Amino acid sequence: MISEHAGQSSPSASAEAAPWWRGAVIYEIYPRSFADGSGDGTGDLAGVRARLPYLRDLGIDAVWFTPWYPSPMADGGYDVTDYRAIDPGFGDLREAELLIAEAREMGIRTIVDVVPNHVSDQHPWFHEALGSPAGSAARGRFWFRPGRGADGELPPNAWVSEFGGPAWTRTTDPDGSPGEWYLHLFAPSQPDLNWGHPEVREEHEDVLRFWFDRGVAGIRIDSAALLVKDPKLPDVATLHAPGEHPYVDRDELQDIYRGWRAVADSYGDDLALIGELWLPEATRFARYLRPGVLNSAFNFDFLVCPWDADRLRASIQQTTEVHAEVGAPTTWVLSNHDVTRPVTRYGRSDTSFSFEAKRYGTPTDLWLGLRRARAAALLTMALPGCVYLYQGEELGLPEVEDIPPGLLQDPMHFRSHGVDPGRDGCRVPMPWSGDTPPYGFSPDDADDEPWLPQPADWAGLTVESQTGIPTSTLELYRAALRLRRDLPNLGDGPMTWLPSAPQVLAFARGPDFACVVNLGPDPVELPAHDHVLLISAALKGGRLPADTAAWLRISAPG
Ligand code: TEU
């Protein structure tokens, strides 16, 4: 049973009784790149433990670790060989337990990432399957099928991997002849599990218990809409009725997650199940957030929005409505370990995000991008519900776009035949201090360089160099998070749109707080207010300039 930690401050004072996950600020840690305690150039749990005071002082409520389990790292840890252990490069289980407990002492909850769609091709189950004949029970945990064509030389269907290329790879039988094919919606080193197999279901429910027993407060569910496949494995059509796509958002998922809910609820009522659901249709998305299923999900609709007032307003409005219908808290996400850093994205002519559009050599104005990213941060932190921050976002890090090709790691890059720069650019190790790489990421006497090279011009972006500088992005985040904790109407709760010019977003939280964001080219008048609580860039002649957000104390009516 998880007990409420005494020192835990409520994410929203207006909601003392509301569960923590309705209004939390959740900080995503990509363990490889957060802090390196051992000096081998890769981040680890010792590094995170040493930086816990930084996270506490930043003012977050929880950390989400992307997978920290043993993994060949073919997809940055999303290729897991053992869900009940820690990758030796990161530490060990004992250290994870210490970390979870120490974080909790500081008022920080821990969320772990569970990857149920697939395992590593080095997972014992897959080894067993490869060593077993066609039709065997061991192969039944995955999707093995004979090929099409005279000699089975064609994949069983035309599904395309999320990383590009075919979603099937052919195996070789023990005698050296070509064998069956297996399904992988991601890289070939990530074979998909068959969720129709009872052992797959039992195994995952047991993995949840394993981590809940160690004090974690929530689970982030990777690729949560993809687990279930139509067993007939039909080709994908142009249009599918809701729930009838062969592998996206199938209705059987609801029952799987109801099972997970029951496991979580057996520990009390404050464990969070958070879905990574990339779904275009808001009402289908919201079905996962009904009572008895998941608690919350990442709001990718908001994340992919361009820097455009109408589009953002529409996304915020729709998000708020569909979540209210099912009683779930809204979430707001600007970045994560998969997408282009906002400072870079908002500095381009196309400020939306899509995996397909990523290209080398896209012209970027980083000054403009940073200005907008800072305004977007204040917008996000003022909206109702939960906020997800990705490590380095609080430093205003840009995407690193000049990683030497030989050092790139991301399968998305390689499977696009080098057309897509991949996701390494948002995974570059954090700069903490000093003037040159590794910027305090590794100890001074480290043997190895960071696993991805850090830019030579990041001295001004380190935690050390931004600390105490009132205009720095780090201090903007610190101030915003402090206010978010102190002001009773931020976090979970209602919002009210205020009248504004078309290119301005303005809304109130409670009777005396307003957030105003100017996305247009010209300065605008601020609404009547007592004083400015926080602002992402200086006022211009008393007006709110372009690409700037302000938090205002307004007078309560009457
Ligand atoms: O990402 C999943 C993901 O991005 C896709 O499911 C998404 O739907 C698709 O690319 C959109 O076209 C998660 C992790 O966040 C990512 O790092 C992993 O590589 C991936 O799962 C596989 O585990």
pTM for this predicted structure? 0.96
Pocket residues: Cβ below 6 A from ligand 1: 75, 78, 115, 162, 186, 222-223, 276, 278, 337-338, 355
- CATH number given to 18-117+197-466: 3.20.20.80
H/E stretch holding 532 reads strand 531-535
Which of 338, 390, 426 has most ligand 1 atoms within 8 Å of CB, for mutation? 338
What separation in angstroms does the CA of 409 have from each of 114, 404, 428?
A: 22, 11, 11
Which of 75, 83, 159, 162 has most ligand 1 atoms within 8 Å of CB, for mutation? 162
Q: From the CA of 370, how far away is ligand 1's center (Å)?
A: 26
Q: From the CA of 153, how far away is ligand 1's center (Å)?
A: 28
Q: Output the residue whose Cα is nearest ligand 1's atom 8.
A: 278
**Which residues, including other chains, have CB under 8 Å from residue 214's CB and lie 6 or more apart?**
96, 97, 100
Instruction: Give the integer Cα–Cα distance in Å for 328 and 274.
Output: 11
Q: Output the residue whose Cα is nearest ligand 1's atom 2.
A: 223
Domain ranges of the chain: 18-117+197-466, 124-183, 495-558
pLDDT score of 558? 53
pLDDT score of 14? 43
Q: From the CA of 465, how far away is ligand 1's center (Å)?
A: 34
The model's pLDDT over 121-175, given as tens digits with 9 standing for 90+, comes to: 999 999 999 999 999 999 999 999 999 999 999 999 999 999 999 999 999 998 9
H/E stretch holding 370 reads helix 366-382
Instruction: Give the integer Cα–Cα distance in Å for 240 and 108.
Output: 42
Instruction: Give the integer Cα–Cα distance in Å for 340 and 357.
Output: 11
Q: Is residue 120 within 8 Å of residue 71, measured between CB atoms?
A: yes
Tokens matching residue 491: 């976090």
Q: How many CB atoms lie within 10 A of CB 41?
A: 18
Tokens matching residue 297: 């999900």
Q: Is residue 421 within 8 Å of residue 413, measured between CB atoms?
A: yes
CA angle 80/86/89 to nearest 5° reads: 95
Tokens matching residue 42: 């890769």
Q: From the CA of 289, how far away is ligand 1's center (Å)?
A: 20
The runs of H, that is alpha helices, within 190-333 are 198-213, 252-265, 282-287, 300-304, 309-326
The number of the ligand 1 atom at minimal distance from the alpha carbon of 338 is 17
Q: From the CA of 258, how far away is ligand 1's center (Å)?
A: 22
Amino acid found at 284: R
Sheet with strand 144-145: strands edge to edge: 144-145, 178-183, 168-172
Instruction: Give the integer Cα–Cα distance in Å for 282 and 273.
Output: 19
DSSP state of 166: B
The number of the ligand 1 atom at minimal distance from the alpha carbon of 423 is 17
Amino acid found at 411: P
pLDDT score of 229? 98
Q: How many CB atoms lie within 10 A of CB 492?
A: 22
Q: Is residue 314 within 8 Å of residue 405, measured between CB atoms?
A: no
Task: List, as one string, the DSSP characters of 24-47.
Answer: -EEEEE-HHHH--SSSSSS--HHH
pLDDT score of 37? 98
Q: How many CB atoms lie within 10 A of CB 369?
A: 24
Which of 278, 333, 356, 423 has most ligand 1 atoms within 8 Å of CB, for mutation? 278
Q: Output the residue whose Cα is nearest ligand 1's atom 18.
A: 78
Does the fold of domain 124-183 match that of domain 18-117+197-466? no
Q: Output the residue whose Cα is nearest ligand 1's atom 12.
A: 162
- CATH number given to 495-558: 2.60.40.1180
Task: List, as one string, the DSSP characters of 414-471.
Answer: HHTTTSS--SGGG-PPPP-SSSSTTTTSS-TT-SS--SSPPPTT-GGGSHHHHTT-TT
Instruction: Give the integer Cα–Cα distance in Å for 412 and 316.
Output: 30
Which of 79, 119, 160, 186 has most ligand 1 atoms within 8 Å of CB, for mutation? 186
User: Can you name the CATH fold of 124-183?
Assistant: Oligo-1,6-glucosidase; domain 2 (3.90.400)
Q: From the CA of 542, how far away is ligand 1's center (Å)?
A: 44
Low-confidence ranges of the chain (pLDDT < 50): 1-15
DSSP state of 154: B
Instruction: Give the integer Cα–Cα distance in Å for 483 and 405.
Output: 43
User: How long is the chain?
Assistant: 558
Q: Output the residue whose Cα is nearest ligand 1's atom 6.
A: 223
What separation in angstroms does the CA of 276 have from each of 157, 224, 299, 303, 309?
A: 26, 5, 9, 13, 26
pLDDT score of 124? 98
Q: Output the residue whose Cα is nearest ligand 1's atom 1.
A: 223
